Structure 1
Amino acid sequence: MKRYSRLVLVFIKGLLRARKGRPVALAVLFCLGLLNLCSEWPSDVARPAFVDVLDNVTPNSFGIARQLLFDHYQRRFPRIPAAQPVTIVQIDEKTLAAVGQWPWPRNRLAGLVDAIAAQKPLAIGLDIYMPEPDQTSPDKVADNLPKTAASLAAGLRALPSHEAILARSLREAPTVLGAAAFDHAAVSTSTDMRSAPILVHGTDPLHRVERFDYVLASLPELQTAAHGQAMLNVALEQGVVRRVPLIMGLGEKLVPSLPIEMLRVATGSSAIDVFAEASGVQAVGVADVQVPTQPDGDMWLHFASIRSTQNRYVSANDILQGKVDADRIRNKLVLVGLTGTGLTDMRTTPLGELVPGIEIQAQVIETIFEGHFLRRPAWLKWAETAFIMVFGLLIIWYVPSTHSRLAVFMSAVPKASAILGITLNLLILSSGLVLFRYFGLLVDAASIFIILSAVMGCFFSTALLHDDTRTKPDVAQAKVPEGGNDRADSKPPGADVA
């Protein structure tokens, strides 16, 4: 076994020394470059079958490093809100203590919608779905009364149901109901919901966007009354929200997300525009606003710190008591959602902050208003791959050369290879930060750093092996055999005695 290990080691050393390490470095460059390309295959090229095989063998090979780098970009340069088009009416602990525990009777929720609508908002989005009838509604209470209370039951059935009261409030205000998409059937899910028309300009992108077969939506009576229905889903990657889909597929049709549907209602538009090519969705538009997207219809979200958005929150209890300044609501896009302990869905952002799910929806709307979009177009992946290959080949050509200026510099300056490597990688990372800061481009400097460092490492290993081979003969020549004089002209003791 020891002999076999020694032979393998000799083979590896010989392979690294061959042609000054260039073949090994070339193999590393192309193998890692292919893995990087497969980890984020560009949408404008058909995905070969071997890409799926590589994904199964090396899942998310470069994805985690890429995501962590993009998070670092955001933490270094978080979005600074320039406007506040959104107000969040939160059903918080104070509201629950004053009004009652959740879920509320629908007539009580209708009172909140009426109080908000009285202040003339542009649109009201409910981050709430109501798929089942209200059991506190008069007709439901009547059904549970004993037969001896027939007259009381008849009186209760003559009253409007809580759904009817809420439906009237939804109809009279510019309201949008939220829904949640599911890829499997669950209690109260359905296979369709009412939604606004989506006009596709170009190729039908239904096979490109994320598709679902089921949806948890509000009762049909409430859907008919509201001015719009939309999805609340967000994209999660390792538990972090980095992207939000603006459109999704439900069965065989396209449906909008809550932010884009609220903009449609606020602008009075009859439909949502989707601009698509064979490679996927290019943009989603409402009125004169176009939002650039990824091919799957997702939008990269540039987050602002929750500390800078706290002033958008108002308590629902203050709304009900008329204690909120009308300017906080008038001509605003108002989101209504739960923030009380144990009731809200908390999400982690790239900034490392835990925020209510409704805050994600608000930040999408705010980003669209400001027009400060993050982009990672398909051509950027090809540009990164070309840079890796060209620069990697230049390294392979110049670094092992013994007569180039680079080689002279590296032999003359101590630790020159480390200096060059650190300088190169700092330039790459700095360039990524600059492109993010001023152009909103998400450049994958992490993959460039990893691959080019691996290529440089091949020559560093080769240099160590060559130093080792030069050192060993010198050490051997310095050794003197023990137990005797090795001089050729040495004389035995007493040789000079006559």
Structure 2
Amino acid sequence: MAGVGLLVLLIASGVTTSLDNALYDLHARLWRYTPDNNVVIVAIDLKSLDAIGRFPWPRSVYAQLIDRLTADGVRGIGMDVTMSTPSNDARNDALVASAIQRNGKVVLPVFAEAVHLGGQLQEALPISAIAQSVAALGQVDVATDADGRVRGAYLKAGLGSAYWPSLALALIQLGTTPSAALPGMHDPARNDTSPYLWMRDNYVLLRYAGTAGSFGSVSSADVLDGNVPAQMLKGRWVLIGATAEGLGDILQTPDSPMPGVEYQANVLESLQRGYLVTPINFLAQFLLAAALLTLPLLLYGLPVIGRRAPLLLATLALVLATCIGLLRACYLWWPPTACLAVIAVECAAWQWLMRERHR
């Protein structure tokens, strides 16, 4: 009973979260995969900045880029580039809107921002002339943990309620009926909505393909100049976004700094291949951990283990095996360190009690 009480305190307080994150990161480095080359990044890189000019670019440049990708027969385009304010030349807005409409499979980003410091949040949508031409809109909210690292993503988010799909999910859903059953842990407060709060739902952990540079990437300048063979782009998802460090769109993943557009590529690839990991909720964490707390009692009577250190080692090994087994086989993440800590404390307390009783 004391162990169960301690377990509740550890899980509810989040004291062991950093250890759980470290364990997940360690396992993720050994659980990478090779992308299928279905996702290509069209990078706003240093080469493009040198060729086209300083950022932000005129929207006529994006119009040319989209038309080139349309001619190459891409499957769909996700733009990690905001167009929430009118440009200085309205003709450029009209050009990019026409290019988006000609393609018919372009997704633009939505995000939340405060107009004034500390002010009320508002959704930053593309301007009306452009928004009317897109196939879909997708939110680009980044799930940053307390230590500043990005391990997961929210598949749904929005102001008041989580109704916007993520940019990657919006791309996947183009031309299909959205599935009601999405992976991810639900926000317990999702029904207590407020029109002034940015709500998130369907939180998933990412199985990163690797460090930055794991996905195929071509320079925007090369695409505009026609230097990229059409077969490299035909039938593939294309994500347009900044990779140059000076543009500020760099996220800190557990392995390395990564451009935001490559983070979106990881979400897109994981969605396609079913590699998204769902963290289990508090109740499931507690019930599984409480069940595993009985392991020392079940193993205690075995003649091989007896009252020696193998009891503790065998129990800890079984707990870790349960964690890794759920992750690998079911894509479910159960944080094990609270359970490991309680079992270690229980074993130490039992040994102390036995010594006191013998004395």
Q: What TM-score results when the alignment is normalised by the length of structure 2?
A: 0.85
How far apart, in 2, do the equivalents of 1:104 and 1:438 lie? 46
Residues 381 and 333 of structure 1: is their aligned pair in 2 closer, same or farther, counting only changes over 3 Å?
same
Number of the residue aligned with 2:238: 334
> Are the aligned partners of 1:98 and 1:317 in contact in 2 as well (CA < 8 Å)?
yes
> Are the aligned partners of 1:125 and 1:336 in contact in 2 as well (CA < 8 Å)?
yes
Q: Does 1:224 align with 2:132?
A: yes
Q: CA RMSD in A?
A: 2.7
Contiguous gaps of at least 5 residues in structure 2: 187-200
Number of the residue aligned with 1:343: 247
Secondary structure of 2:332's counterpart equals: coil
Q: 1:425 aligns with which of 280, 305, 316?
A: 316
Secondary structure of 1:246's counterpart equals: strand
Residues 391 and 221 of structure 1: is their aligned pair in 2 closer, same or farther, counting only changes over 3 Å?
same
1:128 is displaced (CA, Å) by 0.8
How far apart, in 2, do the equivalents of 1:447 and 1:180 lie? 35
> Are the aligned partners of 2:83 and 2:126 in contact in 1 as well (CA < 8 Å)?
yes
1:67 is displaced (CA, Å) by 2.2
1:227 is displaced (CA, Å) by 1.7
Considering fraction of residues, name the structure with more helix. Answer: 1
1:236 is displaced (CA, Å) by 1.0
Q: Deviations over 1:21-75 (max 9, x none)?
A: xxxxx42x032122245x2xxxxxxxxxxxxxxxxxx4x2232222222222212
Number of the residue aligned with 2:27: 73
1:264 is displaced (CA, Å) by 2.2
1:383 is displaced (CA, Å) by 4.1
> Are the aligned partners of 1:33 and 1:388 in contact in 2 as well (CA < 8 Å)?
no
1:108 is displaced (CA, Å) by 1.8
For the pair shown, the structure with the greater C-alpha radius of gyration is 1
Aligned length: 341
Residues 306 and 30 of structure 1: is their aligned pair in 2 closer, same or farther, counting only changes over 3 Å?
closer
Number of the residue aligned with 1:322: 226
How far apart, in 2, do the equivalents of 1:81 and 1:408 lie? 42
How far apart, in 1, do the equivalents of 2:248 and 2:232 lie? 23
Residues 407 and 332 of structure 1: is their aligned pair in 2 closer, same or farther, counting only changes over 3 Å?
closer
Q: Superposition pairs for residues 407-446 of structure 1, below 5 Å?
A: 409-410=306-307, 416=308, 418-446=309-337
Q: Does 1:117 align with 2:70?
A: yes
Number of the residue aligned with 1:176: 107
How far apart, in 2, do the equivalents of 1:221 and 1:313 lie? 30
Q: Deviations over 1:227-266 (max 9, x none)?
A: 221111121112122221111132357111101111122x
Q: 1:356 aligns with which of 240, 248, 259?
A: 259
1:105 is displaced (CA, Å) by 1.2
How far apart, in 1, do the equivalents of 2:179 and 2:97 lie? 28
Number of the residue aligned with 1:369: 272
Number of the residue aligned with 1:261: 170
State, as a whole percentage, how many aligned pairs show the same letter.
25
Number of the residue aligned with 2:196: none
Letter in 1 for 2:242: L
Number of the residue aligned with 1:34: 8
1:445 is displaced (CA, Å) by 2.3
How far apart, in 1, do the equivalents of 2:162 and 2:322 lie? 41
How far apart, in 2, do the equivalents of 1:456 and 1:76 lie? 31
- Poorly superposed stretches of 4+, deviation over 6 Å: 404-408
1:326 is displaced (CA, Å) by 0.8
Q: What TM-score results when the alignment is normalised by the length of structure 1?
A: 0.63
1:406 is displaced (CA, Å) by 6.2
Q: Superposition pairs for residues 72-471 of structure 1, below 5 Å?
A: 72-78=26-32, 80-81=33-34, 83-135=36-88, 137=89, 161-173=91-103, 174-182=105-113, 184-186=114-116, 213-237=121-145, 238-251=147-160, 254-265=163-174, 268-269=175-176, 272-274=178-180, 283-284=181-182, 292-295=183-186, 296-306=201-211, 309-310=214-215, 312-350=216-254, 352-378=255-281, 380-391=284-295, 394=297, 409-410=306-307, 416=308, 418-463=309-354
How far apart, in 2, do the equivalents of 1:302 and 1:407 lie? 39
1:119 is displaced (CA, Å) by 0.6
Contiguous gaps of at least 5 residues in structure 1: 1-25, 40-57, 138-159, 192-212, 275-282, 285-291, 411-415, 471-498
How far apart, in 2, do the equivalents of 1:385 and 1:433 lie? 14
How far apart, in 2, do the equivalents of 1:347 and 1:100 lie? 24
